[in-house]
Amino acid sequence: MDCNSIRENYILNTGWKFKLGEEPKAWYKGFDDSSWRDVNIPHDWAVEHPFDINCSSGTGYLPGGKGYYRKAFFLPKKLKGKQVFITFDGVYKNSMVWCNSYYLGKRPNGYTQFCYDITDFVCFGDDPNVIVVKVQHEDIADSRWYTGSGIYRKVTVTVKDKIAIENNSVFIYTAKAEKEQAEILVQMSVSNAQEADAEISARHILYDRNRPVASSQNHHCVGAGGRVNDYQVLTVNNPILWSPDNPCLYTCVTEIERDGKIIDREKTVIGIRTFSFDPDNGFFLNGKSMKIKGVCVHHDAGCLGAAVRKKVWERRLKALKEMGCNAIRMSHNPHMPELYDLCDSMGFLVIDEAFDEWEGVKNKWVKGHNVYPPAHYGYYEDFPKWHEEDLSAMILRDRNHPSVILWSIGNEVDYPNDPYCSPLFKEAMGNNDRNKPLAERLSDPNKPDAKRLVTVAKKLVSIVKKHDNTRPVTAALAFPDLSNAIGLSDCLDVVGYNYMEHLYEEDHKRYPNKIILGTENIHGIEQWLEVAENDFISGQFLWTGVDFLGETQGWPCHGSKSGLLDVAGFKKPSYYFRQSLWSEKPMVKLFTSDMIEEAGGDFDRSHDLISAWDYKNGQDILVVCYTNCEQTELFINNRSAGIKRLGDCGKGYLTWIVPFEKGELKAVSIDKNGLTHECVILTTGKAAKIKLTCADTLISADGSDMTHIIAEIVDSDGNRVSHARNRIRVTVEGEGYLMGLENGDLRDLTPYSENYRNAYKGRLLIYVSSGCKSDLIKVTAESDGLISGEAVIECK
């Protein structure tokens, strides 16, 4: 509990009861739930079940269903008379909520944060409060990617005064930022739920760490049952400007004072920065030109499903940062709030995206990607009634994040004939239309007219601007030719192009006043050069930064391999190729393959590459070197296999074909300053033992903290045996529990609920959660024929 005398927040993440299936009386406060399962939040029940070929391929061959959650909690008597709210960060989906048998409401959208006022229904003192949540996710083919099922994000109860800052009303933004001085505008609303008028002071204090650097105060009379809007200006001298290279954050403390007593307080973390897009010169941050080097991400984490904790994303973002990435596109929905906090503190620019579909339903693949016929469920059923509330919720929640630079109102809503058609294009195919029947490629006058997209877009843009007029609006377009022709792109401040790099130059000439950004791109060097060599293109967002569940080509694969990191967060060969293009730091990395004709540098041909030097003696082996250094020499057992220059290769990476010889493979690269950098791969011995490496050996005993443990199968010298696929069994003893095992192999159908899994490329990731008591946690990893590995974690 984050508790002070002014406002109290209770995080309801532990001690929930859960039942999968129907229970008509579950809403009733007095219902006996003692036979239900104990679970903690976040929770995703889908990954607790085996993969099933009869489930939808689009959502990862995992089931949905209907489930109920119940949580009892107490509020101290001293809080009686205050306002009480409950906030859900994400429930997938069609949630219905009760408090003490009183029905609060329904929220169809599974990605949107929502809040209920439960002031009239709560008890104080020894009488428990019971929250009941019904979740309905029976149409599992409702998405093109894995969604999860359940209360998969944080739940918070907030208690505050009758006179208080309204939820999500504080909006802080940079009006001007120069080296000597910055001007920060602050607006908020204060409501009075009492029956008498109230004189108040509204004060803002800006802190650089613990040092106040600016303050402002206004006085208001808030009428009984009314509200006032407050606007103030903070002037900051010598500000430190936020950027990906220096993500400096300030904290604004907003206080409401009445009769000399502070009655409400809210803290908002901000960054001081300005940015702009120019149709000819691209993106500028704090007046300096920069290229956006972004990746798209979905919200799952393999074995954890959608119930992802902050540390999982922290580990992923750290790896992406090391690669040279500076931007994230939240595909194709609002993500967990903690991810935006990390982007603020770690230095990532963000496209915040609201929808994947509007009124028209997209194809949802159930038997493999582009395998007809598709299913047709999805958010389109709720869009007409809920789009304004859902879009507003995203903007209001995220508009104080300095990382957020663009609001995206949709992803590929203009996809050819899916379902919107136009007589301007008799036949059309999208970027991902392999196997599409001719009838589906032809314009159909009986399908929705694409011109309708313009009407919807204008309304969505107006909703965004109502809540935030400081950031541009974009959409990720699949068919720019159509969108430009019908006027859809005219609705946007920044026009997002998905996979249409060949149109950049031509469209820049045809529409010189339009700002073009690559919002979804493949991993090839040609696509990057379109950005690097053209000032008018601000950047690109690769599809994707991390492998994800769902959107699979077909059984037995249960996810997409499009990432630079796999679902375990391990770096793939394509990661290092991208690092060689994006990173300013010199780097060199070696991979090998015995599939000489099939290996390469771009992502879709690099999955067979492995960082290993274990083959048959004399066998011809392809060696691939990713580097940003000018010259590299390859050595086998200290004998040169040749020198190659990156500028001579024309493909962004270096290759050799050499006969295998047991021992050492080494690359020595020379950077532009004449400094050398090495990468060495050794021939390994037989698998001998399991080595455990724990990211955090001290975690909090709050039931919500966690740690990552990497289990590696190594030889007697401690070198990872990359070809090892031994089955590893994991046990957790003490005040903690096993959250899941992930190896990054999307063809491994071992149920995620098991405590064993095969190693993949010689390693396995172990997720361990803390409990709620101080104690030691012992983790043991065993495999037949190998020496076991152990790790001890302190939980306190």
Average pLDDT over residues 467-474: 98
112: left (phi over 0), alpha (psi -120 to 50) or beta: beta
Contacts of 688 (CB under 8 A, 6+ apart): 714, 715, 716, 786, 787
Q: End-to-end CA distance of the chain, in Å?
A: 16
Give me the pLDDT at residue 599, please.
47
Tens digits of per-residue pLDDT, 600-636? 445 345 558 999 999 999 999 999 999 999 999 999 9
Q: What confidence tens digit (pLDDT) does each residue in 445-464 have?
A: 989 999 999 999 999 999 99
Is the Cα dihedral 422, 427, 432, 438 positive or negative?
positive
771 touches 735 (CB < 8 A): yes
Quote the pLDDT of residue 606. 54
Confidence at 386, pLDDT banded by 50, 70, 90: very high
Instruction: Write down the pLDDT at residue 156.
Output: 98
C-alpha pair distances (Å), 31 with each of 12, 121, 695: 20, 17, 42
Pairing of strands 689-694, 706-714: antiparallel
**Residue 305 belongs to a domain with what CATH number?**
3.20.20.80
DSSP secondary structure, 454-466, as one string: HHHHHHHHHHHHH
Look at residues 501, 529, 560 and tell me which one is the last residue of a structural domain.
Answer: 560
User: Can you tell me the mean pLDDT for 423-437?
Assistant: 80
| Confidence at 436, pLDDT banded by 50, 70, 90 | confident
Quote the CA–CA distance of 569 and 692 in Å, as a whole number: 16
pLDDT at 432 over 80: no
Q: Tens digit of pLDDT for each residue in 49-87? A: 999 999 999 999 999 999 999 999 999 999 999 999 999
Say how far residue 625 (Cα) sits from the centre of its chain: 30
Q: Where residue 5 falls among pLDDT bands split at 50, 70, 90?
A: low
Is 34 in the same domain as 125?
A: yes
| DSSP secondary structure code for residue 242 in this structure | P
Beta bridge partners of 271: none
Place of tokens 């650097």: 213
What is the per-residue burial (b if ≥16 Cβ within 10 Å, else e) of 276-302? ebebeebbebbeeebbbbbbbbbbbbb
Mean pLDDT of 783-790: 98
Please indicate, yes or no, whether residues 150 and 237 belong to a single structural domain of this protein: no
For residues 289 and 616, what is the distance between their CA atoms, to the nearest angstrom? 51
Please state, in angstroms and rounded to a whole number, the distance separating the CA atoms of residues 136 and 147.
13
In a domain, 121, yes or no: yes
List active site positions: 412, 520
Query: Which amino acid belongs to residue 363?
Result: N
Tokens representing 378 are: 């999805």
Is there a contact between 379 and 144 (Cβ–Cβ < 8 Å)? Answer: no
Measured distance CA(324)–CA(580) in Å, rounded: 9
Instruction: Say yes or no: 608 and 705 in one domain.
Output: no
Look up the domain containing 616 and give its range. Answer: 573-682
My answer on whether 619 and 719 are in the same domain is no
* Residue 479 confidence (pLDDT) above 70: yes
Beta bridge partners of 626: 589
The packing angle between helices 383-398 and 452-467, to 10°, is: 30
Give a yes or no: residue 568 inside a domain.
no
What is the distance between the alpha carbons of residues 714 and 761, in angstroms, rounded to a whole number? 11
Same structural domain, 661 and 720: no
Domain's final residue, options 115, 135, 160: 160
Whether residue 565 is contained in a domain is answered as: no
The number of distinct structural domains making up the chain is 5
Q: CA–CA separation, 486 vs 66, rounded Å?
A: 42
pLDDT value of position 634:
98
446: in domain: yes
Shared-domain flag, residues 177 and 144: no
Q: Is 567 part of a structural domain of the chain?
A: no
CATH number (domain holding residue 698) = 2.60.40.10
Task: Write the pLDDT tens digit of every residue in 687-732.
Answer: 999 999 999 999 999 999 999 999 999 999 999 999 999 999 999 9
Q: Which helix (H) or strand (E) holds 474?
A: strand 473-477
Q: What is the mean pLDDT of the chain?
A: 96
- Once rounded to an integer, what is the mean pLDDT over residues 517-531? 96
Cα torsion angle, 450, 456, 462, 463, sign: negative
Tell me, what's the pLDDT at 603? 39
**Which secondary-structure segment (H or E) carries 591?**
strand 588-593
* Residue that terminates a domain, selected from 518, 539, 560: 560
Residue 467 lies in a domain: yes
Q: Which residues contact 107 (CB under 8 A, 6 or more apart)?
A: 88, 91, 94, 95, 97, 114
Residue 601, pLDDT score: 47
Contacts of 478 (CB under 8 A, 6+ apart): 412, 414, 415, 416, 430, 431, 498, 499
Distance between CA atoms of residues 303 and 289, nearest Å: 40
Question: Is residue 425 domain-shared with residue 301, that is, in the same domain?
Answer: yes
In the predicted structure, residue 536 carries a pLDDT above the cut 50 = yes
Q: Which residues contact 520 (CB under 8 A, 6 or more apart)?
A: 296, 329, 411, 476, 496, 498, 499, 541, 543
Q: Which tens digits make up the pLDDT trace of 562-577?
A: 999 999 999 999 999 9
Residue pair 637/664 in contact by the 8 Å Cβ criterion: yes
Q: Could you read off the pLDDT of 238-257 as tens digits, one per residue? A: 999 999 999 999 999 999 99
Q: If you ran DSSP here, which 8-state letter would residue 8 be given?
A: E
Residue 360 CB partners (closer than 8 Å, separation 6+): 380, 413, 418, 419, 420, 448
H-state helical runs in 254-382: 310-323, 337-346
Residues 552, 597, single domain; the answer is: no
- Per-residue DSSP letters for 291-324? -EEEEEE-S--GGGTT---HHHHHHHHHHHHHHT
pLDDT recorded at residue 177? 96
Separation CA 460–CA 403 (nearest Å): 22
For residues 418 and 493, membership in a common domain is answered with yes
| Band of residue 433 on the pLDDT scale cut at 50, 70, 90 | confident
Report the C-alpha gap between 461 and 442 in whole angstroms.
30
> How does DSSP classify residue 772?
S
Asked if residue 668 and residue 582 are part of one domain, the reply reads yes
Domain membership of residue 455 (yes or no) is yes
Do 362 and 340 share a domain, yes or no? yes
Residue 4's pLDDT is what?
A: 43
Task: Note whether 326 and 363 are same-domain residues.
Answer: yes
CATH of the domain at 103: 2.60.120.260
What torsion, rounded to 10 degrees, do the Cα atoms 578, 584, 585, 587 define? 30
Q: Coil, helix or strand for 448?
A: coil
On whether residue 374 sits in a domain, the answer given is: yes
pLDDT at 360 over 70: yes
CA distance 182 to 317: 29
Whether the pLDDT of residue 137 is over 80: the answer is: yes
What pLDDT sits at residue 440? 81
